Chain A
Amino acid sequence: MAKHETPFLDQLESGPWPSFVSDLKQQAEVRAKNEEGVEFQIPQDCVDDLLGVLELSYKHGRTHWKHGGIVGVFGYGGGVIGRYCDQPKMFPGVEHFHTMRVAQPAGKYYTTDYLRKLTKLWDFRGSGVTNMHGATGDIILLGTTTPQLEEVFWTLTHDYNQDLGGSGSNLRTPADCLGSSRCEYACYDTQALCHFLTNEYQDELHRPAFPYKFKFKFDACPNCCVASIARSDMSFIGTWKDNIRIDQDAVNKYVENDAAYPSNAGAHKGRDWGPFDLEKEVLALCPTGCMKFENKKLAIDDANCTRCMHCINVMPRALKVGKDTGCSILCGAKAPILDGAQMGSLLVPFVEVNADNDYEAITEVIENIWDWWMEEGKNRERLGELIMRQGFQKLLEVTGIKAIPQHVSYPRSNPYIFWKEDEVEGGWDRDVEEYRKHHLR
Chain B
Amino acid sequence: MSELLDNKEAATKAVVDWMTKKSKNKTKFYFKDFYKVFPDDKPRLIKKVITKMVQEEVLEYWSSGSTTMYGLKGGGIQHSSEGEE
Binding site for B on A (CB under 8 A): 66-72, 75, 77-78, 80-82, 84, 99, 167-170, 203, 207-213, 371, 374-375, 378-380
- What residues of A have a CB within 8 angstroms of the CB of B65 in the complex? 67-68, 81-82, 99, 167-168
Given contacts A168-B68, A379-B32, contact A209 B63 (CB under 8 A): no
A338 to chain B, nearest CB (A): 13
Q: How many A-B residue pairs have CB under 8 A?
A: 96
Q: Which residues of B contact A81 (CB under 8 A)?
A: 63, 65
B1 to chain A minimum Cβ distance, whole angstroms, is 15
Known: A78-B63, A168-B68. A209 touches B80 (CB 8 A): no
Report 15 cross-chain contacts, Cβ distance below 8 Å, ordered by A residue.
A67-B64, A68-B63, A68-B81, A69-B78, A82-B63, A84-B80, A168-B66, A168-B68, A169-B31, A208-B31, A209-B46, A210-B31, A213-B67, A371-B42, A375-B42
The digit string for B46-85, where 1 denotes a CB below 8 A from any CB of A, is 1100110011000011111111100100000011111000
Contact (Cβ within 8 A) A375 B66: no
In the docked arrangement, what's the CA distance between A378 and B47, Å?
A: 16
Show the binding face of B for A, using Cβ within 8 Å: 30-32, 42-44, 46-47, 50-51, 54-55, 60-68, 71, 78-82
Q: A68-B62, A68-B64, A211-B32 are in contact. List 4 more A-B contacts (CB 8 A).
A: A66-B79, A168-B67, A212-B66, A380-B67
Q: Which residues of A contact B71 (CB under 8 A)?
A: 70
Given the contacts A167-B65, A168-B61, A207 and B81 also touching, CB distance less than 8 Å = no
CB nearest neighbor in B for A208:
B68
A77-B54, A371-B44, A379-B30 given as contacts; is B66 within 8 A of A70 (CB)? no
Do the beta carbons of A212 and B50 come within 8 Å of each other? Answer: no
How many whole Å from A384's CB to the nearest CB in chain B? Answer: 15
Q: Which among A67, A209, A371 is the interface contact of B31 at CB below 8 angstroms?
A: A209
> Shortest distance in angstroms between A71's beta carbon and chain B's nearest beta carbon?
7
> Which residues does chain B contribute within 8 Å of A69, judged by CB atoms?
62-63, 78-80
Q: Are B51 and A375 in contact (CB under 8 A)?
A: no
Minimum C-beta distance from B7 to chain A (A):
20
**Which residues of A sit under 8 angstroms from B63, Cβ to Cβ?**
68-70, 72, 77-78, 80-82, 167-168, 208
Inter-chain CA distance A68–B78, complex, in Å, is 9
A residues in contact with B81, CB < 8 Å: 66, 68
User: A168 to B62, alpha carbons, bound, how many Å?
Assistant: 9
**Closest Cβ–Cβ distance, residue B40 to chain A (whole Å):** 13
The answer to whether B32 touches A72 (Cβ under 8 A) is no
- Note all chain A residues with C-beta closer than 8 A to B66: 167-168, 212-213
Complex Cα distance A114/B50, Å? 36
Smallest CB gap from A86: residue in B = B80
Shortest beta-carbon distance from A168 to chain B in Å:
3
Contact B79 A212 (CB under 8 A): no
A379 to chain B: which residues have CB within 8 Å? 30, 32, 67
Q: Which residues of B contact A66 (CB under 8 A)?
A: 79-81
